[in-house]
């Protein structure tokens, strides 16, 4: 009798698919995005979620919680139950910049890295009909008028930092005007409320392309010119900020999730982001897919935290 029962148990175990005993979400997964629908982060998040549902086996529900430069969404993210049913996107360095401020509502240690999704280079743009035809002309205008305005995605947010890196390295004064996010700051430029702005390449790629572009790209935050825009100089070659600057958009979970949950998402997103169909979909959307696993993302977050303390903090002491 015992042998019969043992045989049944072994046979049943052999019928269970490999890996099916590992952790899996038991319901829909909420993905918190700290910016409004239609923003660059939201666009990328929805594209990834669409392709990731098959690997994760559940519906990924994007929950937009915009406001306070990202603080509202990220505060909600760190407070979420660490059961694997809530994950979210953080934007670097904005997340680490806000987390290192005095009386911040969250800290870097309150999130657990899962996978990096995108890495985006920052650029400087003006309207297509702007009198500033190149970066030197813009700097001359900033110095002469002393009141040119630049829209940003929030106080001390990533695009505000880009503007500060540019303006301070050029010794050119300007007025930063914060908006709720990248989508709003670009709308402000397109409507003529400001004279220039700094954003990520993916956010402006469609606006600077085509027969009748709305915007003109003047400069790139990198050590070499972009292959897609070889005529646009880097800031460094013109004597301004000479290092790469941009943003990473990454997936994290609330502190306290079990290792099996982390492993599940890392493996799922690795599979998704290495899928040729997904890679092509990102290229078509102008998004720079850049998968990093949890350990690599952890190192990136540490480096960005150091950058915020050593570099960004000094930008705003004036």
Longest dimension (CA), the chain: 95
Please state, in angstroms and as integers, the Cα–Cα distance from residue 96 to each residue in 30, 112, 201, 301, 308, following that order: 22, 13, 21, 8, 7
C-alpha span between 208 and 67 (Å, rounded): 27
Q: Is beta strand 149-152 parallel, antiparallel or unpaired with respect to 196-200? A: parallel
The Cα–Cα gap between 205 and 285 comes to 9
CA dihedral 217, 247, 118, 213 (to 10 degrees): -20
d(CA 100, CA 42): 24
Share of the chain above pLDDT 70, in %: 93
For residue 19, pLDDT over 80 is answered with: no
Per-residue pLDDT at 148 exceeds 60: yes
CA distance 105 to 221: 30
- The pLDDT assigned to 177 comes to 97
Confidence class for position 156, pLDDT limits 50, 70, 90 = confident
For residue 20, pLDDT beyond 80: no
pLDDT band at 21 (very low <50, low <70, confident <90, very high): low
CA neighbours closer than 13 Å in the CB half-sphere of residue 269? 28
Mind listing the pLDDT tens digit for each residue in 261-283? Answer: 999 999 999 999 999 999 999 99
- Which of 298, 181, 186, 310 has the alpha carbon at shortest distance from 248? 298
Place of tokens 């690599």: 296
- Distance, CA of 50 to chain centre: 17
pLDDT averaged over every residue in the chain: 91
Cut 0.95: pTM above it: no
Structural domains of the chain sorted by starting position, each given as residue range(s) with its CATH number in brackets: 27-119+246-315 (3.40.190.150), 121-238 (3.40.190.10)
């Amino acid at each position: 009798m015992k042998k019969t029962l043992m045989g049944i148990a072994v046979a049943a175990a052999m019928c269970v698919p490999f890996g099916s005993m590992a952790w899996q979400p038991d319901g829909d997964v909420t993905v918190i995005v700290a910016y409004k629908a239609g923003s660059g982060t939201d666009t990328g998040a929805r594209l990834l979620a669409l392709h990731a549902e098959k690997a994760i086996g559940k519906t990924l529900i994007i929950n937009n919680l915009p406001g306070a430069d990202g603080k509202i969404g990220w505060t909600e993210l760190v407070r979420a139950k660490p059961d694997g049913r809530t994950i979210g996107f953080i934007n670097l360095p904005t997340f680490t910049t806000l987390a290192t401020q005095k009386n911040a509502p969250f800290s870097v240690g309150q999130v657990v890295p899962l996978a990096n999704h995108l890495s985006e280079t920052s650029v400087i743009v003006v309207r297509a009909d702007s009198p500033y035809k190149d970066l030197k002309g813009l700097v001359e205008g900033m110095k002469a008028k002393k009141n040119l305005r630049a829209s940003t995605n929030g106080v001390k947010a990533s695009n505000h930092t880009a503007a500060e890196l540019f303006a301070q390295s050029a010794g050119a004064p300007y007025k930063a005007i914060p908006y709720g996010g990248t989508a709003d700051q670009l709308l402000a430029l397109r409507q003529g409320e400001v004279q220039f702005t700094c954003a990520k390449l993916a956010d402006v790629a469609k606006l600077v392309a085509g027969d009748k572009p709305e915007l003109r790209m003047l400069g790139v935050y990198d050590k070499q010119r972009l292959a897609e825009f070889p005529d646009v100089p880097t800031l460094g070659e013109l004597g301004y900020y000479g290092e790469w600057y941009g943003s990473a958009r990454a997936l994290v979970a609330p502190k306290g999730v079990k290792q099996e949950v982390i492993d599940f998402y890392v493996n799922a997103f690795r599979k998704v982001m290495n899928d040729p169909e997904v890679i092509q979909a990102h290229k078509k959307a102008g998004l720079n897919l850049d998968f990093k696993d949890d350990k690599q993302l952890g190192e990136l977050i540490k480096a960005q935290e150091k950058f915020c303390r050593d570099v960004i903090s000094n930008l705003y002491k004036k």
